[in-house]
Amino acid sequence: MSFFVVDVALPVPLLRTFDYLPVEGEQQSDYQAGQRVRADFGRQLLTGIVLGTRTTTEVPQNKLKPLLARLDDVPLISEGDLSLARWMADYYHHSVGDVLEHWIPAMLRRGAALTEANESGWQRVAPNDSDPVLRGDKQKALWQRFIEQTDILHSQLTSTGFSLAQCRRLAEFELIRETHQLPQPLIPATPKPFLTLNGEQEKALTLMKNELGKFRACLLEGVTGSGKTEVYLQLIDAVIQQGKQALVLVPEIGLTPQTVQRFQERFSVPVALLHSGLNDRERLQGWRQAKEGVARILIGTRSAVFTPLPDLGLIILDEEHDGSFKQQDGLRYSARDFALVRAHQAKVPVLLGSATPSLETLHNALSGRYLHVKLTQRAGNAKPPGMKLHSILHQPMISGFAEPVLSAIKQHLDNQKQVLVFLNRRGFAPLLACRHCGWMAECRRCDARLTLHQYPPHLHCHHCDHQQPVVHTCPECHSPDVEAVGQGTERIEESLSELFPRTPVRRVDRDTVRTKQAFDELFNDIHQGGSCILVGTQMLAKGHHFPDVTLVVILDSDAGLFSADFRGMEHSAQLIEQVAGRAGRAENPGDVWIQTLYADHPQLNLLIDNGYHALALSMLKERLEQQLPPYSHMAMLRSECEDKGLSRQLTDQARHMLQDWLRQYGKGNAPVTLLGPFPAIMERRNGRFRYQLQIFCPERKSLHQALDALVKQLQSLKGFNKVRWHLDVDPVDTL
């Protein structure tokens, strides 16, 4: 038998792949790129992906180990997906084995067989006009079920009151047989008709239909409530008619039952879902439904962008500006950017939708690189909300509210409407302080103050999760004059309950809504209607359609106005516009009140008077002047270590490495500029000191050559084992 080795990508951080001998007795022709194998790696047992085979290796014979098992005959990952994974590994300077982990669901990563997604069920084998002689109503009812539907999962039968014995009985009559199969997504019996589009929607739809069948990036910039979703639905319909599949990506908290229902009730094709609320088995099922072409529409959050879809015809990314599309640990990829790469490979259009597009996407649209389609009016009879800045400078305040704001709330409640109070701060108060000596409760492990929580009472660090009991006397001066300063959602909820004792007040934040189920229940409740006050964080802000909310109050927009991050204003403006967009989405006009200490802030005024697009244009001008993204490409090296000196030194070293490399190889390339190293805005978090080095370049290629050299050198750097570091390509924040 001739000698060969298998090139295997393993989920380890090293930027390389590994040679193994084949499983004993197996031939070179047994191995194909994309199969899973089990390999012994150090003291671990890992599942890796075959990238290919070779007849030579640089590994000495006595160091070569055989693979323990080959798990697939048919490759699990296609050639096309392998090349996307290689692109991603190069672009993010990440191990290809780690990258490939994103392509396969957890159960398969652990070595499970595809059939573990199957469930037992029953299938009708007799014709549906058979007229068997059955005894008992239950038997007859069961048979009736099979006349209506050929395949039924066992769990569906037991949950509707049928027993295993009854099924066995029908099987004995050879009416049905037991099966073991992939559950199919449900299809609505009669799909709802599509809405008649208005002129703008119609035009948008026509423009985008023209792009089907080829790669094209489109920005659908539509004000909140302009009916973007309706355009998505009708575009998807065109894709389905062509026999293709559609992939719809939504933000983490945008995948509400309402959204899903809107898709499910329109189409007579199976819709699969992939989101974080599913268990591993359900994820595998959704993945297989997509991969095997059973599901024709896949709706999912960030990681669904990797799901194989053999007939992909369109990718839609809703709320494309949303931060949850960027993974913030491990492989720091952007699902939006990757969706573009994937669409390019598949030669299909990608539609990015938002009322508040990121400056990157807007820049691409304005420069003509993307098709730019706009919806400027709200759909149906809805009117845009009236926005008002309310100065609270030197104003008397009642529990965090200005008096006119309280009267507005009262008026909307009297009209039997719902009021949304937005405050992006959980807990009771952001600060516990001593009135006597000025002591403040601070986290021992972070450069941060502890947030006071009331339910249950404790002090909580929102950065490292440290928790401790509330103190009632000052640990410094022993004064009992310790008090909560400022407002969090808990305190606002409490105050509003006192101010409006007859109105239900619902708080919506990560502390009240911990599970997807709780979220779903809450939203159903809100949709029942009736006057109420919703107090919440950004959980409430995005994408939701609350027809009865007519007033939105934004309590504290000021934090973002002076952020140290250059994207601070962009993110604040997006959030304000999105929260404001929850008001007046149905027949009733909406009002938005923004309480601020800085009522003359020019950018805030631009946003209120002329809207997000106008502000975005002015922010783009600033970015151009400062040569910041999107006019330059950016990467960031972050280090963290309990030893402050070491953390700092690693970023210093990185700067030197880059400078040396640029001196040697950078000539003729676009200039790479370095900023830092400097401490992160919160220098110490969870006991570790954090430093960062920012790297800019107007050209992607030159930047990536430099980054490649940097990562290789850092990986072989000695003496810094204790320092954790990572490279963030296209970071979405610099905090």
Binding site for Zn ion (CB under 5 A): 434, 436-437, 439, 443, 445-446, 461, 463-464, 466, 474, 476-477, 479
Q: How far is the CB of 483 from Zn ion (least distance, A)?
A: 11
Q: How far is the CB of 197 from ligand ADP (least distance, A)?
A: 5
Round to whole Å and give the CA distance between 7 and 49: 9
Strand order in the sheet with 36-41: 18-20, 5-9, 44-54, 36-41, 69-70
Contact segment (CB under 6 A) with ligand ADP among 75-83, 221-229, 275-283, 394-402 equals 221-229
Task: Please identify, using beta-carbon distances, which residue of 222 and 731 lies nearer to ligand ADP.
Answer: 222
Task: Please identify, using beta-carbon distances, which residue of 476 and 622 lies nearer to Zn ion.
Answer: 476
Tokens of 538: 């950004």
β-strand 532-536 against 505-508: which pairing, if any?
parallel
Residues in binding contact with ligand ADP, number by CB under 6 A: 17
Task: Please identify, using beta-carbon distances, which residue of 198 and 324 lies nearer to ligand ADP.
Answer: 198
Q: How far is the CB of 265 from ligand ADP (least distance, A)?
A: 12
Instruction: Give 3-state DSSP helix, strand, coil % of the chain, rounded to 5.
Output: 35, 25, 40
Kindly identify the residues of this chain, within the stretch 529-548, that bind ligand ADP according to CB under 6 A: 545
Q: What is the DSSP string of 589-607?
A: --EEEEEES-TT-HHHHHH
Contact segment (CB under 6 A) with ligand ADP among 77-85, 192-200, 299-307, 631-639 equals 192-200
Q: Which does 226 bind (CB under 5 to 8 A by kind): Zn ion, ligand ADP, none?
A: ligand ADP
List the one residue out of 161, 166, 353 whose CA is nearest residue 259. Answer: 353
Round to whole Å and give the CA distance between 153 and 87: 40
List the one residue out of 402, 419, 414, 590 whose CA is nearest residue 502. Answer: 414
β-strand 36-41 against 69-70: which pairing, if any?
antiparallel
Round to whole Å and give the CA distance between 237 and 235: 5
Contact segment (CB under 6 A) with ligand ADP among 4-12, 89-97, 193-201, 626-634 equals 193-201
Task: Please identify, using beta-carbon distances, which residue of 289 and 574 lies nearer to ligand ADP.
Answer: 574
Q: Binding residue for ligand ADP (CB under 6 A) from 201, 512, 578, 702?
A: 201
Q: In whole angstroms, what separates CA 299 from the centre of its chain?
A: 12
Task: Please identify, using beta-carbon distances, which residue of 266 and 688 lies nearer to ligand ADP.
Answer: 266
CB 26 within 8 A of CB 70: yes
Query: Burial, 701: exposed, middle or buried (Cβ in 10 Å; 0-12, 13-18, 19+)?
Result: exposed
Q: Which does 439 bind (CB under 5 to 8 A by kind): ligand ADP, Zn ion, none?
A: Zn ion
Task: Please identify, using beta-carbon distances, which residue of 225 and 251 lies nearer to ligand ADP.
Answer: 225
Round to whole Å and give the CA distance between 487 and 167: 60
Task: Please identify, using beta-carbon distances, which residue of 230 and 493 lies nearer to ligand ADP.
Answer: 230
Q: How far is the CB of 683 from Zn ion (least distance, A)?
A: 12
Q: Which does 508 bind (CB under 5 to 8 A by kind): ligand ADP, Zn ion, none?
A: none
Round to whole Å and give the CA distance between 725 and 652: 13
Token pair 């008709």 in the structure block, residue:
193
CB 552 within 8 A of CB 576: no
Q: Which does 197 bind (CB under 5 to 8 A by kind): ligand ADP, Zn ion, none?
A: ligand ADP
Token pair 């923004």 in the structure block, residue:
594
Q: Which does 474 bind (CB under 5 to 8 A by kind): Zn ion, ligand ADP, none?
A: Zn ion
User: Is residue 377 a contact residue for ligand ADP (CB under 6 A)?
Assistant: no
Is 440 in a helix, a strand, or coil?
strand
Q: Which does 195 bind (CB under 5 to 8 A by kind): Zn ion, ligand ADP, none?
A: ligand ADP
Task: Please identify, using beta-carbon distances, which residue of 93 and 336 lies nearer to ligand ADP.
Answer: 336
CB 567 within 8 A of CB 364: no
The dihedral through the CA atoms of 733, 389, 535, 616 has a sign that is: negative
Q: Binding residue for ligand ADP (CB under 6 A) from 12, 134, 171, 197?
A: 197
Round to whole Å and give the CA distance between 593 and 500: 18
Kindly identify the residues of this chain, within the stretch 585-604, that bind ligand ADP according to CB under 6 A: 585
User: Is residue 313 a contact residue for ligand ADP (CB under 6 A)?
Assistant: no
Helices marked H in 69-193: 79-92, 96-100, 106-109, 137-148, 154-159, 164-172
Q: Which does 580 bind (CB under 5 to 8 A by kind): ligand ADP, Zn ion, none?
A: none
Tokens of 153: 């999962």
Tokens of 40: 């012994």
Task: Please identify, using beta-carbon distances, which residue of 106 and 437 lies nearer to Zn ion.
Answer: 437
User: Is residue 380 a contact residue for ligand ADP (CB under 6 A)?
Assistant: yes
User: Is residue 227 a contact residue for ligand ADP (CB under 6 A)?
Assistant: yes
Contact segment (CB under 6 A) with ligand ADP among 225-233, 565-573, 652-660, 680-688 equals 225-233
User: Is residue 195 a contact residue for ligand ADP (CB under 6 A)?
Assistant: yes
Task: Please identify, using beta-carbon distances, which residue of 186 and 682 lies nearer to Zn ion.
Answer: 682
Give the CA-trace dihedral at 698, 699, 700, 704, to 10 degrees.
-100
**What are φ and ψ of residue 405, in 5° steps?**
-70, -40
Contact segment (CB under 6 A) with ligand ADP among 8-16, 17-25, 67-75, 191-199 equals 191-199
Q: Which does 463 bind (CB under 5 to 8 A by kind): Zn ion, ligand ADP, none?
A: Zn ion
User: Is residue 78 a contact residue for ligand ADP (CB under 6 A)?
Assistant: no
Helices (H) and strands (E) in the chain, counts: 20, 32
Q: Which does 594 bind (CB under 5 to 8 A by kind): ligand ADP, Zn ion, none?
A: none
β-strand 386-391 against 591-596: which pairing, if any?
parallel
CB 372 within 8 A of CB 365: yes
CB 453 within 8 A of CB 489: no
Q: How far is the CB of 477 from Zn ion (least distance, A)?
A: 3
- Whole-angstrom distance between the N-terminal and C-terminal Cα of the chain? 57
Task: Please identify, using beta-carbon distances, which residue of 228 and 460 lies nearer to ligand ADP.
Answer: 228
Q: Binding residue for ligand ADP (CB under 6 A) from 11, 225, 430, 630?
A: 225
Q: Which does 293 bind (CB under 5 to 8 A by kind): ligand ADP, Zn ion, none?
A: none
Residue sitting closest to ligand ADP (CB):
227
Q: Binding residue for ligand ADP (CB under 6 A) from 93, 124, 169, 228?
A: 228
Is 410 in a helix, a strand, or coil?
helix
Q: Which does 445 bind (CB under 5 to 8 A by kind): Zn ion, ligand ADP, none?
A: Zn ion
Q: Binding residue for ligand ADP (CB under 6 A) from 81, 230, 490, 556?
A: 230
Tokens of 7: 């090139």
User: Is residue 198 a contact residue for ligand ADP (CB under 6 A)?
Assistant: yes
User: Is residue 260 a contact residue for ligand ADP (CB under 6 A)?
Assistant: no
Task: Please identify, using beta-carbon distances, which residue of 53 and 377 lies nearer to ligand ADP.
Answer: 377
Q: How far is the CB of 439 from Zn ion (least distance, A)?
A: 4
What's the one-letter identity of residue 509?
D
Task: Please identify, using beta-carbon distances, which residue of 11 and 581 lies nearer to ligand ADP.
Answer: 581
Round to whole Å and give the CA distance between 8 and 18: 5
User: Is residue 222 a contact residue for ligand ADP (CB under 6 A)?
Assistant: yes
The DSSP letter of residue 429 is: B
Which run of H or of E encompasses 48?
strand 44-54
Q: Which residues bind ligand ADP (CB under 6 A)?
A: 195-198, 201, 222, 224-230, 379-380, 545, 585
